[in-house]
Amino acid sequence: MSEFATRLIAWQKLHGRHDLPWQNTRDPYAIWISEIMLQQTQVSAVIGYYQRFMQRFPTLASLAAAEQEEVLQYWSGLGYYSRARNLHNAAQIVMDDHGGIFPREFTAVQALPGIGRSTAAAILSFAFDSPQPILDGNVKRVFARHFLIDGWPGTPKVEQQMWGLAEALLPAQNMVAYTQGLMDLGATLCTRSRPQCPSCPLQQTCLAFAQGRTKELPASKPRKAAPQRQTMMLLLLRGDEILLEKRPSSGIWGGLWSLPEAATDISPVDVAASRYGLTVEPLPPMPVLSHAFTHFKLAITPQPLRVLQADTLVPASPAIWMAVDDAIGAALPTPVRTLLQKLKDGALQGALPP
């Protein structure tokens, strides 16, 4: 066993994290849910979502049998909603193709929607002690510093170099402690900013520490200015109800309920009339709400409108009238829930009946 692995395993057993809700289990389903939730999301943000999700969907079979809308509802606010859709789809595949038993073969796990090489390896390591290398963001940071690897880890050349290291460093035993140790070290000590090098078990062999380069490694992704987009969201109010539309199953906020959208240079009154057959009067506008996605920033102009008359009582599918209180608890994108909460809290006086 390498000195790297020996030191890391010993440190993890004494100082690593041992009380997270998804630890101390060999259930591949529970481990899989946690690994998907932890993709691009911090542990502190995941804990509450994980506990609520597992309470509602305690088994793979219960997740597979659920409606996608309910799965999205329990994911609402966690972001990157394709993860939830992939989870639901993968659960149904496991039920249909694997007899409801989560597969143990690496290729079968990686073939499931939403599971890449590193996630598949983590699931198999934690659930079955399988000797599989992982390479998530925390591990890339540890490797870049310890082995003095220049270049942004997202480039194919650097990533390939790191995968080679990940494979070469695998211990023959203590896979759970080793895999968890890599994650823990990057999350708690070898952090992006202000790494706690004096407490690091690998300090003596860390090349970046020896050369005073911990602050510059790993290299940052080349930055491009995030494009700015704009949209107008219509808050169509009929008494204490609001009109929601279901978004297409793919794309941004796929499958979630949202507010009707229109270009910012179009009359919201005309949109309400032409699209929904509604006669409306504008209410005082709400402040523009900014929301950042991974690749762009969205400026949302919320326009409340009071419905005076409707050609039909029920809008064409996939739209629905829903009480504002109920809508807040539905499967909504975070900024839409924020707008409805502001509406309920009285940010727009007189919009809702007392």
Q: Which of 3, 35, 67, 159 is catalytic?
A: 35
In angstroms, the CA 67 to CA 252 distance is 19
228: left (phi over 0), alpha (psi -120 to 50) or beta: beta
35 is catalytic: yes
Distance CA 153, CA 290 (A): 30
Q: How far apart are the first and last CA of the chain?
A: 69
92 within 8 A of 99, measured Cβ to Cβ = no
CB 118 within 8 A of CB 134: yes
Q: Identify the H or E element spanning 137.
A: helix 137-146
Nearest one of 88, 90, 83, 130 to 106, comparing CA atoms:
130
- Which residues, in sequence order, are CB contacts of 280 under 8 Å at separation 6+? 236, 268, 269, 272, 273, 305, 306, 307, 308
Positions marked catalytic: 35
